[in-house]
Amino acid sequence: MMLQKVCLFLLCLFVTASVGAVGPASPASAVGELKPFPQQVSYPGILKPSQVTQAAMNQAVTAYYDYWKATYLKSNLTSLPGGYYVKGDITGDPDGFTALGSSEGQGYGMIITVLMAGYDPNAKAIYDGLFKTARAYKSSGNPNLMGWVVADSKAAQGHFGSATDGDLDIAYSLILAHNQWGSGGSVNYLQEAKKMITDGIKASYVTSGYRLNLGDWDGKDALNTRPSDWMLSHLRAFYEVTGDETWIRVIDNLYDVYQQFTSTYSPNTGLISDFVVGDPPKPAPEWYLDEFKETNQYAYNASRVPLRIVMDYAFYGDPRAKALADKMAGWIKGKTGGSPANIKNGYKLDGTAFGDYATAVFVSPFISAGTANPANQAWVNAGWDWMKNKKEDYFSDSYNLLNMLFLTGNWWKPGGSPVPEAPNLALNKTTVSSTVEGVGFESGKAVDGNQMTRWASREGNDPEWIYVDLGSVQQITGVKLRWEVAYAKRYKIEISSDSGSPEHWQEVYSTSSGDGGLDEIPLAPQAARYVRMYGIERGTPYGYSLYEFEVTGQ
């Protein structure tokens, strides 16, 4: 699949989601924002522009948002009434469609909108419209992800493969939305986030070596990766809402890859190439994946990296992020004589410029990187003055606004862990299944707590079943089924309290519209020793397959 120029179109409800002192917020709108703009957080160890007041910075953000919204936020899809999208050009092959936007733009728009809620009284309606589009234009490879192209055609919905960056931003925005509005409305933001994180992003993008690949069309053993996708603070938020240690392993590995890369190719600049390949990591060759010539340099993909790095220091205090941000900021200050207007739109890894003008998608992230060190106050001040009125195109303007939100403290850290969930009574308990596909797919794989292993039945048979023995009669309150691609369209949940082997099954839940992914099934508290998933009709030509079969209880 052809990729476009700038990255494949690139907690508790009441827990305080910010750190440091927070100034007065504007009145919440009728939908009841919990984190209304302006939040104006002061992050520990992070500078803000010091030559202007907080109120003036907030006003600059709202003025820029009004411009951005009027210019790029659209709801004119005849093929999806009520669906919003962020209008932006793409490069790459739209496969006969007229491309209007991308998953990259959708992710930017969803983060911006949720952070501007409270200032914009229509933010929630707009956000839900953006989410509607993200879900309608699902990826052809994994329906829990978004296809990378938005076009005004029903045929475009489900036609395109995905792009990693857009999905990471979309999933992260859902966590922000849960913090902003709660998840008790028409969209359960937290549940949607968890499903997308685990059944979409983890299932398709996390490689066996704990890198992030390029899309759901890419391999799980891939070594190629795009550093602009390394949204480290996003990944920490994923960990906080799922409790899945996979995300910590990915974070640690990406830091290792970055440090190995820079020690060899950019020890004096801290720069990284648009694409990284191999082990040990090295720059991708020129014209990688037919994107553009400079895929082996610091170009329009990698230009976004400094913001992604410094946010992990601002929000979570990781010293590795500070070290990288300080190196990049120190180098670019020296390169430009302390003048952000002298930044160019492209650098070789050794710091030699090949670009010829300053554009916000290069300038603003370098300003954000400078906030991690008090020696950079004049740099941050000059950068703010340069960027606050800079208006160019969809890509630069959207990323400029994200940096403005960070620099003013109006991109707040999402809340921590969700409310503690009921224990999983099925974990590592005895299981029995009707059939097994083969070695490595035994029934016990569904209760081992490892979301990379799975039980699979023989292909092509109905009905099939799997049950877990809780060991004794327990008070159960729900079931969670995390399906692999081979899911049940029609199935029921049954329980038994027999001693010995179960003989008398009682139906407690059934559905005929299963669609795979994560099924969270609440049950009225009741006694059971055995819990069974009884598959009646397959949703695919294959068999039935579960990554995890959980039983929650008291």
pLDDT for 499 equals: 87
What is the three-class DSSP state of 321? helix
Radius of gyration of the chain measured on its C-alpha atoms: 24
User: Model confidence over 543-554: pLDDT tens digits?
Assistant: 999 999 999 997
Same-domain pairing of 398 and 435: no
The domain that holds 520 is classified in CATH as: 2.60.120.260
43 falls within a domain: no
240 falls within a domain: yes
Report the pLDDT averaged over residues 384-406: 98
Question: Looking up tokens 């750190």, which residue turns up?
Answer: 19
User: Model confidence over 134-160: pLDDT tens digits?
Assistant: 999 999 999 999 999 999 999 999 999
- Write out the DSSP string of 243-290: --THHHHHHHHHHHHHHHHHHHH-TTT----SSEETTTTEEPPTTGGG
Q: Can you tell me the distance from the alpha carbon of 44 to that of 380, in angstroms, rounded to the nearest whole number?
A: 16
pLDDT for 418 equals: 44
360 falls within a domain: yes
Domain count, the chain: 2
Residue 386 has pLDDT above 60, yes or no: yes
User: Model confidence over 24-68: pLDDT tens digits?
Assistant: 333 334 458 999 999 999 999 999 999 999 999 999 999 999 999
Report the pLDDT averaged over residues 95-107: 97
237: containing domain: 54-407
Which residue among 128, 165, 199, 326 is the active-site one? 165
What is the DSSP secondary structure assignment for residue 85, as one 8-state letter? E
Q: Is 206 exposed, middle or buried (0-12, 13-18, 19+ CB in 10 A)?
A: buried
Q: Is 422 exposed, middle or buried (0-12, 13-18, 19+ CB in 10 A)?
A: middle
Same-domain pairing of 219 and 326: yes
pLDDT for 416 equals: 54
- The answer to whether 46 touches 233, Cβ cutoff 8 Å, is no
Report the pLDDT averaged over residues 87-103: 94
Residue 405 has pLDDT above 50, yes or no: yes
pLDDT for 153 equals: 98
Of all residues in the chain, what percent carry a pLDDT higher than 90? 86
Report the pLDDT averaged over residues 110-120: 98
The domain that holds 150 is classified in CATH as: 1.50.10.10
Same-domain pairing of 402 and 437: no
pLDDT for 3 equals: 36
Backbone angles phi, psi at 474, to 5 degrees: -125, 160
- The answer to whether 26 touches 117, Cβ cutoff 8 Å, is no
Q: Can you tell me the distance from the alpha carbon of 163 to that of 91, in angstroms, rounded to the nearest whole number?
A: 14
405 or 23: whose pLDDT is higher? 405
Report the pLDDT averaged over residues 535-549: 95
Q: Is 460 exposed, middle or buried (0-12, 13-18, 19+ CB in 10 A)?
A: exposed
- Write out the DSSP string of 44-70: TT----SSS-HHHHHHHHHHHHHHHHH
What sign has the CA pseudo-torsion 367, 369, 374, 376? Answer: negative
Catalytic status, residue 393:
no
pLDDT for 31 equals: 59
pLDDT for 291 equals: 85
Helix axes 377-387, 360-370, angle to 10 degrees: 150
Q: Can you tell me the distance from the alpha carbon of 86 to that of 103, in angstroms, rounded to the nearest whole number?
A: 9
Q: Is 241 exposed, middle or buried (0-12, 13-18, 19+ CB in 10 A)?
A: buried
- The answer to whether 455 touches 446, Cβ cutoff 8 Å, is yes
User: Model confidence over 304-345: pLDDT tens digits?
Assistant: 999 999 999 999 999 999 999 999 999 999 999 999 999 999
Q: Can you tell me the distance from the alpha carbon of 357 to that of 364, in angstroms, rounded to the nearest whole number?
A: 14
pLDDT for 245 equals: 86
Please compute, for residue 424, the number of CA atoms within 13 A of its CA located in the half-sphere on the CB side. Answer: 16
478 falls within a domain: yes
Among 392, 407, 422, which residue terminates a domain? 407
Question: Looking up tokens 């191999």, which residue turns up?
Answer: 278
Same-domain pairing of 283 and 397: yes
User: Model confidence over 233-249: pLDDT tens digits?
Assistant: 999 999 999 988 899 99
- The answer to whether 431 touches 468, Cβ cutoff 8 Å, is yes
Same-domain pairing of 227 and 269: yes
495 falls within a domain: yes
Instruction: Name the residue type at position 194.
Output: K
Same-domain pairing of 355 and 443: no
Q: Can you tell me the distance from the alpha carbon of 484 to that of 466, in angstroms, rounded to the nearest whole number?
A: 15
pLDDT for 238 equals: 96
14 falls within a domain: no
340 falls within a domain: yes
Same-domain pairing of 349 and 443: no
Mean pLDDT of the chain: 92
132 falls within a domain: yes
Among 407, 439, 454, which residue terminates a domain? 407
The torsion angle over the Cα atoms of residues 158, 159, 162 and 167, rounded to 10 degrees, is -30
Q: Can you tell me the distance from the alpha carbon of 410 to that of 486, in angstroms, rounded to the nearest whole number?
A: 43
Our measurement of the distance from residue 343's CA atom to the centroid of its chain's CA atoms, rounded to an integer in Å, reads: 29
